[in-house]
Amino acid sequence: MTTESTLLLEHPPEFYEREDAYKTLLRKLRHLSEQVRLGGGAKAIEKHKAKGKLTARERIAKLLDSGSPFLEIGELAAYGMYEAEGGCPSAGVVVGIGKIHGRNCMIVANDATVKAGAWFPMTAKKNLRAQEIAMENRLPVIYLVDSAGVFLPMQDEIFPDKEHFGRQFRNNAKMSAMGIPQIAAVMGACVAGGAYLPIMCDESLIVEGTGSIFLAASHLVKAAIGEVIDNETLGGATTQTEISGIIDHKVKNDDECLERIRQIVSAFGATAKAGFDRVSPKPPKRNASETLGLLQQDLTKPYDVRNLLDCICDDGSLVEYKANYGKTILCAYARIDGWAVGIVANQRLIVKNAKGEIQVGGVIYSDSSDKAARFIMTCNQKKIPLLFLQDVTGFMVGSRAEHGGIIKDGAKMVNAVSNSVVPKITIITGNSYGAGNYAMCGKAYDPRFIFAYPHAQIAVMGGKQASETLLGIKLAQVEKGGKHISDSEKQAFLKEISERYEKQMNPLYAAARLWVDGIINPVDTRNIVSYCIELANENPDIPKFNPGVIQT
């Protein structure tokens, strides 16, 4: 029998509707992730294992400590790209951070089930992002090499430029000079320019029978100089450890190789830390599982960011800065899993300022911009890492805003973000439009890590405004030629433009191009931010803060 008490709900019905909708969104994302994790597919994996090799993800799992976190970077890189070439899941390389004998390490593992581990343009971008993170956070790097080299049909997009293939070798040299340990294991092919990577690392290994390394394979040697030789004699494990001496360790198989890497890492000496403050953590006010029911997927509806912070921050730790001023941005000191952090979060509530003026949520006004700039400077002075929660539609426009100096105040905030020296972590929790993306530490402003929620939208402006603007331009071009456009044709134009723009606003589009490091489950926000601060704490070198020219 149903009693009155069983009908009582802990939350209003709208909470459960939002939660169900978000769980459906996450199920779709998990299904996509499962597909991507198959790399080149079941047949390619079977062929790979027939050679006695583990897959890239299996190698990483065996390399890491049991129970270690693994913060994957760029899992969805290249999603929807290179379809004409058969696709390139995860850009053909698995990248992430985990613990080896308790030491946080960046791991870069070629996925040879995807086009034999060949490098596409996004492969290079992803590798460079891994090296950038390693340099910023002083993380040792483990390269698990199994690659046929550059994907030749696209060589013009990967070979000569500053952000292309060759940049990784420059970074190898820079990291070596910085004292960042680099270990490379040749667990498959390592060909042409890619052969420089293991040799530019501090220590190298090669797997007998499957690993090989040379500047040119046997068929190219024959074509170039007429010499007939097989690949194993040319650059196999025995050759490169006993004759050339370019490789330091010869191992029998993947398992022995991974265990040897673990042994090498276990001997690393202790390093200095940045010294970011941490105390014993307290659970948040709300359980993290409540996040999905609290978030508004409809990005036009008001939403109090404090609800999200209740699921992320240690209970009782949140102290708002200028709480009654510039209310469309919330600035606060808090602790996340015990770590001290400064939070800059867009507030989507519609509020009134001290003058009684209505301020629309998600918009940055002069007062909120001024507040955020000052708060960022204060956190830099106190050596407190910054967390940006982006849900921004841009800066306020119109005569009142312009006459009030919105450009000056916006520049002040951008200046503070640009010159900030403490680690910055950015999560796009909703909208991320236009200059608001910049001021709230978008990818162009060097966040140590940047993630997005599955319902986020990233674009120069909102979809409706952009579609109508683009439609106006299109119609003007057509009508300039004297052609009349019917209402039905206008609607067809608008639909085409809207669909294209909506696709580009999707966080999958951003993740594919590494505008964000990944799309995360909002429930995991607290743990991910805590781990990111732990990683940032590995780099003891925090430059002196110089705010530059900031107008008052």
Report the 3 state secondary structure along 436-483: HHHHCCCHHHCCCEEEECCCCEEECCCHHHHHHHHHHHHHHHHHHCCC
Position 4 scores a pLDDT of 47
Position 1 scores a pLDDT of 41
How far apart CA 545 and CA 180 sit, in angstroms, is: 24
Position 550 scores a pLDDT of 60
Position 2 scores a pLDDT of 45
Q: How are beta strands 319-320 and 518-519 bridged, if at all?
A: unpaired
More reliable by pLDDT, 84 or 478: 84
Model-level pTM? Answer: 0.93
Tokens of 544: 């002196």
pLDDT digits (tens, 9 = 90+) for 364-401: 999 999 999 999 999 999 999 999 999 999 998 888 88
Segment 286-311 mean pLDDT: 94
pLDDT digits (tens, 9 = 90+) for 325-351: 999 999 999 999 999 999 999 999 988
pLDDT digits (tens, 9 = 90+) for 443-481: 999 999 999 999 999 988 776 776 677 777 777 777 777
Q: Give the type of residue at 335.
A: R
Find where tokens 């450009």 sit. 407
**Residue 58 CB burial class (10 angstroms; 0-12, 13-18, ≥19):** middle
What is the chain's mean pLDDT, rounded? 92
pLDDT digits (tens, 9 = 90+) for 410-438: 899 999 999 999 999 999 999 999 899 99
3-state class (DSSP) for residue 425: strand
How far apart CA 172 and CA 197 sit, in angstroms, is: 7
Position 552 scores a pLDDT of 55
User: Which of 187, 191, 234 shows the shortest CA–CA distance to 52?
Assistant: 187
Q: Which of 8-17, 142-151, 360-369, 441-450 has the lowest mean pLDDT?
A: 8-17
More reliable by pLDDT, 139 or 352: 139
Residues ≥6 apart with Cβ < 8 Å to 202 = 176, 181, 182, 183
Segment 70-88 mean pLDDT: 95
Position 169 scores a pLDDT of 92
User: Which of 396, 440, 395 shows the shortest CA–CA distance to 416?
Assistant: 440
Residues ≥6 apart with Cβ < 8 Å to 442 = 390, 426, 432, 450
Q: Which of 72-86, 446-460, 499-513 has the lowest mean pLDDT?
A: 499-513
How far apart CA 108 and CA 528 sit, in angstroms, is: 20
Q: Are residues 328 and 365 in contact, defined by beta-carbon separation less than 8 angstroms?
A: yes
Question: 209: left (phi > 0), else alpha (psi -120 to 50), else beta?
Answer: left
Portion of the chain with pLDDT greater than 70, in percent: 97
3-state class (DSSP) for residue 545: coil
User: Which of 213, 156, 165, 159 shows the shortest CA–CA distance to 190?
Assistant: 213
Q: What is the CA radius of gyration of the chain?
A: 26
Segment 515-519 mean pLDDT: 98
More reliable by pLDDT, 224 or 140: 140
